[in-house]
């Protein structure tokens, strides 16, 4: 449905049809966010990309973190097929995962 995800310094908020429906607190500063289907990738100022699953309007931690960046994550995008994720860091480097 109509779900919007918003990353902030201390949480990831889920909105549905314009109303806040859930919030997941995070201990890292969330800097960027991208979703593909039920998979949500959130970049942080901790140099990690944190992977979550969206179940309805609830975000659930998967325990998966992508750990190659050497600076804060500044952008994330999934490939059109959703099989790859790319992210950029604040020092200008770009990383890709399958």
pLDDT for 2 equals: 86
pLDDT for 15 equals: 97
* Residues in contact with 18: Cβ distance below 8 Å, sequence separation at least 6, in sequence order: none
pLDDT for 1 equals: 62
- What is the tens place of the pLDDT at every residue in 39-51? 999 999 999 999 9
Instruction: Judge contact between 11 and 23, C-beta under 8 A.
Output: yes
pLDDT for 26 equals: 96
pLDDT for 64 equals: 95
* Residues in contact with 56: Cβ distance below 8 Å, sequence separation at least 6, in sequence order: none
The residues of the chain scoring below 50 in pLDDT are: none
């Amino acid at each position: 449905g109509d779900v919007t995800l918003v990353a902030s310094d201390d949480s990831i908020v889920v909105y549905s049809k314009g109303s806040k429906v859930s919030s997941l607190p995070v201990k890292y500063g969330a800097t960027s966010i991208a979703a593909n289907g039920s998979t949500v990738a959130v970049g942080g100022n901790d140099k990690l990309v944190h992977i979550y699953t969206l179940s309805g309007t609830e975000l659930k931690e998967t325990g998966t973190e992508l750990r190659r960046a050497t600076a804060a994550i500044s952008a994330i995008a999934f490939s059109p097929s959703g099989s790859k994720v790319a992210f950029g860091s604040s020092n200008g480097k770009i990383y890709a995962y399958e």
